[in-house]
């Protein structure tokens, strides 16, 4: 299979599973809302110790042959708002 045969889509991490596997849910108009796929972290992300938490937006590569499995290739930086500062200046 050539590299050109992959489908790249934006997804949201829903759940972390053991072994670097994640359940991700579609965030656009791909196969309808609520479509969940199991995805592994790509080798470069694992090598560089990129961490993923539920709520992260990621780019996922899917093959046209099996749309239930994928590979996470990029993490976008939307982990939500940073926590509010609790220290008050006097």
Residue 88 resides in a domain: no
Instruction: Please report the DSSP string for 11-74 in residue order.
Output: EEEEEEETTTEEEEEE-SSSSSTT-EEEEEEPHHHHHTT----TT-EEEEEE-SS-TTEEEEEE
| Intervals of the chain under pLDDT 50 | 81-88, 90
Contact 81, 90 (CB under 8 A): no
pLDDT of residue 79: 59
| Residue 42 DSSP label | P
Domain that holds residue 36: 3-75
Instruction: Give pTM, 2 decimals.
Output: 0.74
pLDDT of residue 38: 94
C-alpha to C-alpha distance for 10 and 33, rounded to whole angstroms: 13
Find the CATH number of the domain harbouring 48.
2.40.50.140
Instruction: Please report the DSSP string for 56-71 in residue order.
Output: -EEEEEE-SS-TTEEE
Residue 60 resides in a domain: yes
What does the pLDDT look like over 37-53, one tens digit per residue?
Answer: 999 999 999 999 999 98
**SS3 label, residue 23:** strand
pLDDT of residue 26: 78
The number of distinct structural domains making up the chain is 1
């Amino acid at each position: 299979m050539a590299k050109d045969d992959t489908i790249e889509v934006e997804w949201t991490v829903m759940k972390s599973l053991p072994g670097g596997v994640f359940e991700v849910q579609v965030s656009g108009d791909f196969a309808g809302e609520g479509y969940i796929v199991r995805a592994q972290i790509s080798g470069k992300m694992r090598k560089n110790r990129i961490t993923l938490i539920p709520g992260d937006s990621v780019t996922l590569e899917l093959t046209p042959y099996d749309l239930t499995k994928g590979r996470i290739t990029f993490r976008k930086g939307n982990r939500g708002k940073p926590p509010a500062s609790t220290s008050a200046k006097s």
